[in-house]
A and B are shown apart, each in its own frame.
Chain A
Amino acid sequence: MSTTIFHNGSILTMEDGDAPEAVAIDGGYICAVGALGDVRAVCPDAVEVDLKGRALLPGFIDAHSHPLWAAKTRGAPVVDIRAETVPTYAAIVARIKRRVAAAAPGEHLIFFGLDPTLHPDMENPTRAFLDTLAPDNPIGIQTSNCHALFLNSAGFAACGIDETTPTPTGSIVERDETGRPTGRIAEAITWTALETFYEAWGEDRLAEEFQAQIAAFLRNGITTVTEHLYMPFYKASYRAALRQGLPMPRMAAYQQATAPDMAVEKIADPDDRFWMAGVKIHADGSVFIGNIWVTEPYLDTRITRERMNLKPGHVGGPNYPQAFFETMLRQYFAQGWQMTVHTQGDRTIDMVLDVLEQILAETPRDDHRFRLEHCALMRADQIERARRLGVLCSFFINHITHWGAPIEDALFGPDRAAHYMPVGSAVAAGMRVSLHADTPMTDASALELVQVATARLTKTGRCIGPTERIDVETALRSVTIDAAYQIRMEDRLGSIRPGKRADLVILEDNPLTAAPDRLRDIPVVATYLDGMLVHGG
């Protein structure tokens, strides 16, 4: 690999100091940053890349994503029924009928994207109804938030869930009075049930879709991702991709814990391509199915009552009984892992911070970088408390674009919407935040995250929570160096500095000077991973 010098553009290093004129990379590392003459002097035989006025940034880091899971969840033959593709529930039913009519006998079918807030005529499909649509094929309808699944009888049979199956702690199986599942399951049992379908589709399909997913990350300039629901059998896919020399973004795995006695795999990699970074626990569930824990109830609206089946005054609850959650957290924290905890509701966040504060009082640990994930309804006092405890937030900011309007109108009202995903407050409190797309829930794009965090506009142009907006520079840090900090890789990734990994992205325009409402449309001209050109040219 020859030395390469980039020059004649805007170089955003994400480090302090003036923008340099040139950057040189060699052997997968950044070797020189500075004035063009100086860089040329230390790299005399370098190939030069003329940026022609474009912008050079460190490769983007998505602090909370699920690349392999995205391949399973969204890739073919999964049928896309998200509201942006199939706008109504009536249209979904018609699509299911056409798909079933074209199915091979016994073929496993999954439909992804049912959405109580975005499908205006949405109904909860019962097992009986799905049996009329598909008497012979196992079918499952997954909600767009990924947390819930509706199955027909053949689907339940294929997944081995019946009246005798106990409901695992932390999961939901809706049943009739005899204990027979009535269609809807939610949380961890959903993801194990879906594996039955993915397995039926075979390894080749998975490899192909995984390749498409990692290519999508690279196309968007994302050179480091996290697999935030890692399960041990995922390893084979990453190893295979690396063995085949596929350009796979660096992968920080956070193993999913659903019980206190799980063995966390120790995966280390001198090349920083794939490693075990920590342990993830779902303390609560999805804002859009109502299994989060909040102090102030959900609004009582047609959407919450009829489509989400919530009773007036609904405040939800945590996924696991508090004691069970505490046992898990103590166990993996004591093993020294970085913890990332899925929390949406403010009462859940209280619960998590209470437990953490107690653990830290008993066994103080510096630099634990304990993370809260998503943080939809985090309160101002909790942000202050989190900062004091050294807790970091990673915000699922794309909720604003996709679901901002129903969040304000149908779920929580204007006061809570004004501080929904309170990124601005966290930044003001001095926290190093990260932003994420939570792919497969929304599509991977760091520039989109930046735009949403700086504008907080819904798809129809409504601003949700103007005081929680952040400036473009901070937003860029949250998808580069601050995201690197959140995955404990700030000494190797996330900025342009000699000695760091040569992960770079070239953008057509400089996001700091581009039109603020067009950031997501800035073309990603080229992506370099470990010094190799992996997208564009």
Chain B
Amino acid sequence: MAADAPVPLLSICGFLGAGKTTLVNRLLATASGRRIVVFVNDFGAINIDLDLVETVTEDRISLKNGCVCCTLNADFLLQVKTLTRQEAPPDAILVEASGVTDPVALDGSLREVEAAGLVTRDASIYMIDAEQVGALDYIDTELLLDHANVCELVLVNKTDLVDAARLTAIEEMLAVSAPYAHVLKTRHADVAFLPLLELAGMGARGQPKLPHRVTPGHDFTSWTFEAPHPVPRERFEALARLMSSQCLRAKGFVIFADAPEEPRLFNMVGKRATLEPVSQSVTGGCRLVALGLKTRVDPESLARVMREV
């Protein structure tokens, strides 16, 4: 059963030069034992320490740490099929789309892969080159904002190349025009990415099992929430609404007071949230792990709503 469960799939979009490849390189170097498969457009840009490389073929680089780097091409669906059906499927799949890819269109093709039951869509990340933004014309500015609006995590990268006033202007533009995106400032795509992956992988395969908390790193904050008894549905919905505005991701079990026999798995990625029935027995009332950007989360308001639950 375990091997059949879908693998979490994350996507990275952004204009050419935004820093996507840097992010991928960083990720591969810091996978910490997680087996991540990355689909990239351009092999040439991937900069992997030769000592780490195990095998290289025309369209695949396998690393000694278990990660794999593939080229993104027409065989994407087939490759995902092969990867996810192998004996030890990867912990996560990451798709780095080319600079011109519209995340909305990408979302459509990723939905097809998801429809095949191979993967489950996880966070979508959008990268912006802080230096480039100011030079964009009207059409590209609108395109960038449309893209940012459909992604959960927006990285404003290369902040070291612009002055404070310019950076504030970018942040203000995003706050008004992409109000639901979680924005993080980075210099060289230096985001401690791991918590996002940890949470993505959580419960994805086999029996859902939640670690006590994820490693938040310097950009994120993470916390757990537990209620000993079944919770009123409307209170939980209030909490979910608040979390969807403040947190990037939340996952866990919940038992509603009006349906104590039907425990649910709550899974929130950005604004999308699902409540699925779980087969195994769950005791208590509610147990959640949530993750958000330090800059976005207001621990006090969350704590207040949690107390009410």
Q: Do B138 and A99 touch (CB < 8 A)?
A: yes
Q: Is the Cβ of B178 less than 8 Å from the Cβ of A521? A: no
**Residues 102-154 of B at the A interface (beta carbon under 8 Å):** 111-112, 114-115, 117, 137-138, 141-142, 145-146, 149
Number of A-B contacts (CB under 8 A): 42
A91 interface contact, C-beta 8 A = yes
Q: Is there contact, CB below 8 Å, between B141 and A86?
A: no
Q: Is B141 in contact with A94, judged by CB distance below 8 angstroms?
A: no
B interface residues, tally (CB under 8 Å): 21
Q: A87-B149, A95-B142, A99-B138 are in contact. Are A515 and B115 (CB under 8 A)?
A: yes
| B176 A94 Cβ-Cβ under 8 A | yes
Q: How far is the CA of A174 from the CA of B146 in the complex (A)?
A: 33
Mark A69-87 against chain B: 1 for CB-CB distance below 8 A, else 0: 0000000000100000111
Contacts of B306 in A (CB 8 A): none
A85 to B274: give the CA distance in the assembly, Å.
22
Of all chain B residues, which has the CB nearest A102? B138
B179 touches A87 (CB 8 A): yes
User: Does B210 lie at the interface of the complex (its beta carbon under 8 Å from any beta carbon of A)?
Assistant: no
Residues on B with C-beta less than 8 A from A343 are none
Quick check: is A90 within 8 A (CB to CB) of the other chain?
yes
Listed residue (A101, A521, A522) with the most chain B CB atoms within 10 angstroms of its CB? A521
Q: Which residues of B contact A98 (CB under 8 A)?
A: 138, 141-142
B178 to chain A, nearest CB (A): 7
Number of interface residues of A (CB under 8 A): 20
Given A86-B149, A515-B115, A91 and B142 touching (CB < 8 A)? Answer: no
Complex contacts, B117 vs chain A, CB 8 Å:
515
How does the 8 Å CB contact mask read for B177-219 relative to A, with 1 for contact and 0 for none?
Answer: 1111000000000000000000000000000000000000000
Shortest distance from the beta carbon of B210 to any chain A beta carbon, whole Å: 22
Asked if B305 is at the interface (CB within 8 A of a chain A CB), the reply is no
Which B residues from 140 to 177 make CB contacts under 8 A with A? 141-142, 145-146, 149, 173, 176-177
Contact A88 to B142, CB < 8 A, known contacts A521-B112, A521-B115: no
A518 at the binding interface (Cβ < 8 Å): yes
Q: How far, in angstroms, from A522 to B111 measured CA to CA in the complex? A: 10
Report the minimal beta-carbon distance from A390 to chain B, rounded to whole angstroms.
40
- Tell me the smallest distance from the CB of A53 to a CB of chain B, in Å: 14
Select one of A90, A101, A518, A523 contacting B176, CB under 8 A.
A90
Q: Find out whether the CB atom of B149 lies under 8 angstroms from the CB atom of A88.
A: no
Q: Does A460 contact B (CB under 8 A)?
A: yes
Judge whether B273 is part of the interface by a CB distance below 8 angstroms: yes
Residues A461 and B274 in contact, CB atoms below 8 Å apart? yes
Q: Give CA–CA (A515, B111) in the complex, Å.
A: 14
Which residue, B114, B176, B180, has most C-beta atoms of chain A within 10 A?
Answer: B176
B141 touching A91, Cβ below 8 Å = no
Q: Give Cα A44–Cα B73 distance, bound, in whole angstroms.
A: 40
Name the contact of A90 in the complex, choosing from B111, B138, B149, B179 (C-beta under 8 A).
Answer: B179
Find chain B residues with CB under 8 A from A90 CB.
176, 179
Which residues of chain A are near B176, meaning CB under 8 Å? 90-91, 94
Contact between chains at B179 and A460 (CB < 8 Å): no
Q: Give the chain B neighbours of A95 by CB distance below 8 A.
A: 142, 145, 177
- Say whether A94 contacts B111, CB under 8 Å: no
Q: Which residues of B contact A518 (CB under 8 A)?
A: 115
Q: A91 vs B148: C-alpha distance in the bound complex, in angstroms?
A: 13
A442 to chain B, nearest CB (A): 15
Q: What string of 1s and 0s marks CB contacts (under 8 Å) between A81-118 and chain B?
A: 00001111011001100110110000000000000000
| Residue in B closest to A509 when the chains form the complex, CB atoms | B115
- Distance between Cα atoms of A88 and B145 in the complex (Å): 13
Complex CA gap A342/B211 in Å reads: 56
Q: Are A91 and B115 in contact (CB under 8 A)?
A: no
Q: Nearest B residue to A88 by beta-carbon distance?
A: B179
CB-CB under 8 A for A85 and B149, given A94-B176, A521-B111: yes
**A91, B112: Cβ atoms under 8 Å?**
no
The answer to whether B273 touches A460 (Cβ under 8 A) is: yes
Residues of A within 8 A of B273 (CB): 460
Q: Known: A461-B274, A521-B112. Is A87-B142 also a contact (CB below 8 A)? A: no
- Interchain residue pairs with CB less than 8 A apart (10): A79-B142, A91-B176, A94-B176, A95-B142, A98-B138, A99-B142, A102-B138, A461-B275, A518-B115, A521-B115
| 8 more A-B residue pairs beyond the given contacts A91-B177, A102-B137, with a C-beta to C-beta distance below 8 A | A86-B149, A87-B149, A98-B138, A99-B138, A101-B138, A461-B275, A515-B115, A521-B111
Chain B residues packing against A (C-beta within 8 Å): 111-112, 114-115, 117, 137-138, 141-142, 145-146, 149, 173, 176-180, 273-275
- The 10 residue pairs across chains A and B that have the minimum distance between CB atoms: A102-B138, A521-B115, A518-B115, A91-B177, A94-B176, A94-B177, A521-B111, A90-B176, A88-B179, A85-B146
